[in-house]
Amino acid sequence: DADVTQTPRNRITKTGKRIMLECSQTKGHDRMYWYRQDPGLGLRLIYYSFDVKDINKGEISDGYSVSRQAQAKFSLSLESAIPNQTALYFCATSDLRAGSYNEQFFGPGTRLTVL
């Protein structure tokens, strides 16, 4: 079974709709991240969380919100989706336990299309 899972894997929605992307992990990591990938732009950080009570904005947080429901679950919401939020979204996890050096592990991605 995959250590980092994302649901849904693909989603097509319309402008103005609220969308939630979910991420779960079985690695026991404290840190979780949401990135988006756009052709020609690389991956950019949206939000990150160091534990359940610690959530922080990343480089491109406008138009997004997150919820850390438990150590293993981190959800990304688009309150009112717009076409330029069409992208591939990745969840990642890491920790700083001895020997880990904050190595990040990624989920399979969610391809979101906003029409």
Partner 1 sequence: KQEVTQIPAALSVPEGENLVLNCSFTDSAIYNLQWFRQDPGKGLTSLLLIQSSQREQTSGRLNASLDKSSGRSTLYIAASQPGDSATYLCAVENSGYALNFGKGTSLLVTP
Residues in contact with partner 1 by CB under 8 A are: 4, 31, 33, 40-45, 48, 50, 56, 58-59, 90, 92, 96, 101-109, 111
**Strand 31-38 and strand 105-106: pairing?**
unpaired
How many CA atoms, within 13 angstroms, populate the side-chain half-sphere of residue 29?
Answer: 28
Dist CA 93 CA 78 (whole Å): 21
Minimum CB distance to partner 1, residue 101 (Å): 5
Minimum CB distance to partner 1, residue 60 (Å): 11
Nearer of residues 17 and 60 to partner 1, judged by Cβ = 60
DSSP state of 75: E
Minimum CB distance to partner 1, residue 80 (Å): 26
3-state secondary structure of 83: helix
Say whether the peptide bond before residue 108 is cis (omega within 30 degrees of 0). Answer: no
Minimum CB distance to partner 1, residue 90 (Å): 6
Q: Which one, of 63, 77, 64, 60, lies nearest residue 23 by Cα?
A: 77
Nearer of residues 26 and 56 to partner 1, judged by Cβ = 56
Nearer of residues 80 and 102 to partner 1, judged by Cβ = 102
Nearer of residues 78 and 107 to partner 1, judged by Cβ = 107
